[in-house]
Amino acid sequence: MKGSQLSISFDATDHAIVEQLRSNGRATNQQIAEALGLTATTVSTRIRRMEEANQLRVVAESDFSAHGYDLLLRVTIEVEGRPASDVARELAALPEVFAAHLVTGSYDIDLLVALHEIDELGPFLLDRIGAIRGIRCVTPSTIVDIVKYQFDVVPIEPEA
């Protein structure tokens, strides 16, 4: 991950705003302000400052099954004869891939993939991934249950 050009320090107020957004990402600045005893302008200014410093991003989280994705996969990939970063960028461009990571260990790339049904698996692996140059080995694993799916885990420590 790349750091931002602008570095800011989080204080207790910033922490409180982030916690409000974590519990309800659709909360208005006014609602957050009322919950914290601040003005909406203060909340707005602080959120904008954190966003501009690339230290906060408010996003929507969608449900896979609600959108008809009944098959989730973890796919590990070994690369040969080509930079893994180039292969990872090509893989990341596939619409079925919702996460692509360069990793260390016995393989080079780790993907998380969402498919609508099992019938899409063969064409995805053979036609889509198989068409990308530099892939030596592909190991798909079916995700059978999601135990934890959480994005609000980045710890934000206040300055001492």
Mean pLDDT, 10 residues at a time, over the chain (160 residues)? 60 91 89 96 94 84 75 96 98 95 96 94 96 96 83 59
| Gyration radius from the chain CA atoms | 20
What is residue 141's three-state secondary structure?
strand
> What pLDDT, on the 0 to 100 scale, is given for residue 56?
86
Q: What is the pLDDT of residue 148?
A: 78
pLDDT for the residue 5? 53
Q: How far is CA 142 from CA 5, 45, 69, 128, 150, in A?
A: 40, 44, 13, 18, 19
Q: Would you state the pLDDT for residue 147?
A: 83
Residue 2 has a pLDDT of 45
Range 65-142 classified under CATH 3.40.50.300 = no
- 33/148 Cα distance (integer angstroms): 30
What b/e readout covers 33-48, taking b as 16+ CB neighbours within 10 angstroms? bebbebeeeebbebbe
State the pTM of this model.
0.66
Please list the residue range(s) of the chain that carry CATH number 3.30.70.920. Answer: 65-142
User: Nearest-CA neighbor of 21 among 9, 36, 11, 5?
Assistant: 36
Cα–Cα nearest to 113, from 98, 94, 102? 98
Would you state the pLDDT for residue 9? 81
Task: List, in order, residues 6 or more apart from 77 with CB less than 8 Å away.
Answer: 87, 91, 107, 108, 109, 110, 111, 129, 135, 137, 138, 139
Q: Which residue is it, tokens 């230290």?
A: 55
Instruction: Identify the DSSP state of 61.
Output: -
Answer whether CATH 3.50.50.60 is correct for domain 12-52: no
Which residue from 140, 144, 75 is spatially nearest to 111, judged by alpha carbons? 75
Q: Within the chain, which residue ranges are assigned CATH 1.10.10.10?
A: 12-52
CB neighbours (10 Å) of residue 134? Answer: 16
